Structure 1
Amino acid sequence: MSSERRYERAIEKIFQKYYREGIDYFEFHKDELIAVCTELGITIRNIPDIIYAFRGRRELPAAIAVTGHWAIESAGTNAYAFRKLNNPAQFVVSFADYAPIEIYNAIPEVVEGLLRQDEQSLLTRILYNRLVDIFCGLTCFHIQNHYRSNVHRVGQVELDALYVGVNSAGELFVIPIEAKSQSESEMIGRVQISQMAKLVRQDFPDLQRRLLAVKILGDGTIGVVEFDDRIEPDDFGIVAVRRYRLIRRHSL
């Protein structure tokens, strides 16, 4: 049995255990997922990856989707929750509709030759080329990748990257980033953006916020999306989308 089917069977079993018509929220624990896998006779070594997969890499099984738009979110340490949304759990961003903006590639060739098509290499491309500055219209400074914090009533949340920006009036902005690889299955989820927003509101309450997601696309261009400053998954809208192509020229 494929890992995809094992994940589907496990999450379907949890959903069927709690779902009743009219319900729009219920919590479950990691131990319940372990018990379900044992009951079904399937082996999944990394149990939390079931949750991560259905947050941003896969659609929920049809047996769940037929009952509405559901998302899985964190609900504390080793606890999760199904939440019914009014909108699809993943954003649909038509990057192909946006003409790429050409940016001179500032990555040293010795570095570029070692980069891959994953999230961390994408963040390296963005850092060297100051794409956060260009997109936001701010002077931005990279704080760190893999910024983690325990968020109240959520549990541990990790940001792929964290920047701070300053405008011409000296106002500061905290800029969290969700990064997605080139794979078409890597989607931008509403819950991920919501948790990102909750983290920066908690840890940087005095700063203004710019919420970004980035994705490397099949043609090598880089898509950047900004979301409005909300909290709950259903409330987020897309503020701006840009697509960048890194180019090299031997002379200007």
Structure 2
Amino acid sequence: MVKNPNRYSKLIEKVFAKTFRQGEKDIFFQREDLAATAVELGIALPKNLGDIIYSFRYRVALPESIRRLAPEGLEWVIRPAGQAKYKFSLTAMPRIFPNTLLAETKIPDATPGIIGMYALNDEQSLLAKLRYNRLIDIFSGVTCYSLQNHLRTTVPEIGQVETDEIYVGVDRRGAQYVFPVQGKGGSDKLGIIQIEQDFALCAAKFPNLICRPIAAQFMDDNLIALFSFEESENGIGISEERHYRLVLPEQMTTEDLTNYRNRTDNPL
């Protein structure tokens, strides 16, 4: 069996080539197709076949041979289509990147020092900083509570989905919310597929709550980009983006506080 760094690309290229039809917007395949194609090509598979799909969703782009077959303005992504079923699908916004020109907001860092010392990876560190600094509350304007992290469940017509953390909240009117949160650190990138799944998760499991998916991305060690999303007839779009920098209390200046007080979106 051949094993090399490009084996995932060779495998996904072959699966796509077998199923591609010009003009089709959705191209379906199954997990067993990956295994059968790997045998055909003499490629060693990982123990977890899902790592192949995960890699092309959040770590690396699909091979150029696939990308060049997308119409102008669109890109191929891999979406879930049921239990152990997937589809190559066209979308206009496959990945979500922070706007580097956006202003920062300083927040006094309330993360316990011992948490920073022993966080096991970037994603866990990110989720901890969101939680201890109440960044979901600050960003959403809603009083929020962490309900569960790494929620894994099954959603009709999609199959198994996983959300990094679920918050529930209530605003001053008494309206109740659910905030599925996706966090990415290191080299992993935020993908629109996760947000689509979060909307579906809310509809299936929390139908009576207002659904506001949130995505979080480390821009550097203490600078966190947060995004919220909404659904419309044109699909999913980013409704808001904010950047929060966690700082020592003494790094907050009078000028900072004056600037924040004068921001035009202050509701008070």
Deviations 1:172-231, CA, capped at 9 Å, x for gaps: 010001111132xx222121110111011110001111110001113531110111135x
Aligned residues: 246
Aligned equivalent of 2:162, options 158, 163, 188? 158
Give the secondary structure class of the aligned counterpart of 1:98. coil
Query: Counterpart in 2 of 1:204?
Result: 206
Higher relative contact order (CA 8 A, sep 6+): 1
What's the C-alpha RMSD, in Å, of the aligned pairs?
Answer: 1.9
Gaps of 5+ in 2: 253-268
Aligned equivalent of 2:79, options 73, 87, 90? 73
Deviations 1:95-122, CA, capped at 9 Å, x for gaps: x212221111111222222235511111
Task: Please give the residue correspondences for 1:162-177 in structure 2 after superposition, counting only pairs within 5 Å.
Answer: 162-177=166-181
CA distance in 2, matches of 1:2, 1:222: 37
CA distance in 2, matches of 1:160, 1:111: 18
Query: Counterpart in 1 of 2:248?
Result: 248
Query: Counterpart in 1 of 2:107?
Result: 103
CA distance in 2, matches of 1:79, 1:115: 34
8 A Cα contact 2:122 2:184, kept in partner: yes
CA distance in 1, matches of 2:213, 2:148: 16
CA distance in 2, matches of 1:36, 1:21: 21
Structure 1 residues 22, 42: CA separation in 2 closer, same or farther (over 3 Å shift)? same
CA distance in 1, matches of 2:138, 2:54: 31
8 A Cα contact 1:151 1:199, kept in partner: yes
Query: Counterpart in 2 of 1:188?
Result: 190
8 A Cα contact 2:154 2:161, kept in partner: yes
Query: Counterpart in 2 of 1:11?
Result: 12
Aligned equivalent of 1:92, options 79, 90, 97? 97
Gaps of 5+ in 1: none
CA distance in 2, matches of 1:223, 1:250: 22
Report the identity percentage.
37
8 A Cα contact 2:153 2:160, kept in partner: yes
Give the secondary structure class of the aligned counterpart of 1:54. helix
CA distance in 1, matches of 2:218, 2:3: 27
8 A Cα contact 2:180 2:212, kept in partner: yes
8 A Cα contact 1:209 1:229, kept in partner: no
Deviations 1:15-60, CA, capped at 9 Å, x for gaps: 0001121111121111110111111111121221111111111111
Aligned equivalent of 1:127, options 131, 145, 150? 131
Give the TM-score normalised by structure 1: 0.92
Give the secondary structure class of the aligned counterpart of 1:64. helix
- Using the TM superposition, give the Cα deviation of residue 249 of structure 1 relative to its aligned residue in structure 2, in angstroms: 2.9
8 A Cα contact 1:118 1:180, kept in partner: yes
Give the secondary structure class of the aligned counterpart of 2:177. strand
When Rg is computed on C-alpha atoms for both structures, the one with the higher figure is 2
CA distance in 2, matches of 1:251, 1:4: 45
CA distance in 2, matches of 1:48, 1:171: 38
Give the secondary structure class of the aligned counterpart of 1:176. strand
8 A Cα contact 2:3 2:44, kept in partner: no
Structure 1 residues 60, 241: CA separation in 2 closer, same or farther (over 3 Å shift)? same
